[in-house]
Amino acid sequence: MIFRGVSSEAPFFWLVLYRMNQRLKKGEKLKSRKQIKFLFEKNQNVFVYPIKYIWEFSSPKQDYPVQVLVSIPKRNFKRAVDRNRLKRLLREAYRKNKDIIYDNLNLNNKSVLLGLLYVGKEILTYDEIEKSVRKALLKIKENL
């Protein structure tokens, strides 16, 4: 796919292609009750404040190598506005850094169910959340 007037060596060209793959598509979101139950029954976990990450290998015939569940407890954040903001921040941080584990899973032809559970008591900034997500994804990558 070459755009008119842009050579394939141009940095902009590769930036555009890279950006296209950063979407968090509908199929990447974990919604199935059976799979969620399976994830919570048998899981491995990593804790990097303020998020607990749980994951489990799933059948390799999934459309996407990772399906993600984002959860914010009502006990810690009474107002829906706060929970929704944290969910948005978590999804965005994961979306921008998902290539850390995607590359490894695509090479090994594996699929993973991943849960992001926010356990902190206060709302952190996006930078702090992204740093936590990146650190945890690197730890998960080591365990794969």
* 117-142 pLDDT tens trace: 999 999 999 999 999 999 999 998 88
- Evaluate whether residue 75 is within a structural domain: yes
Which CATH number covers residue 123? 3.30.230.10
Q: How far apart are CA 84 and CA 86, in angstroms?
A: 5
Q: What is the mean pLDDT of the chain?
A: 85
Please list the helix, strand and coil fractions of the chain in percent, rounded to the nearest 5, in that order: 45, 20, 35
Q: Is the pLDDT at 43 greater than 90, yes or no?
A: no
* pLDDT of res. 22: 80
- Evaluate whether residue 103 is within a structural domain: yes
The pTM of the full predicted model, rounded to 2 decimals, is 0.80
Phi, psi of 70 (to 5 degrees): -115, 125
Q: Please state whether the peptide bond connecting residue 50 to the residue before it is cis, i.e. omega within 30 degrees of 0.
A: yes
- Evaluate whether residue 7 is within a structural domain: no
Among 33, 96, 105, CA closest to 66: 105
Q: What is the β-pairing status of strands 51-58 and 111-118?
A: antiparallel
Mean pLDDT across 58-65 = 80
Domain count, the chain: 1
- Evaluate whether residue 94 is within a structural domain: yes
Q: Is the pLDDT at 23 greater than 90, yes or no?
A: no
Domain span at residue 138?
A: 24-143
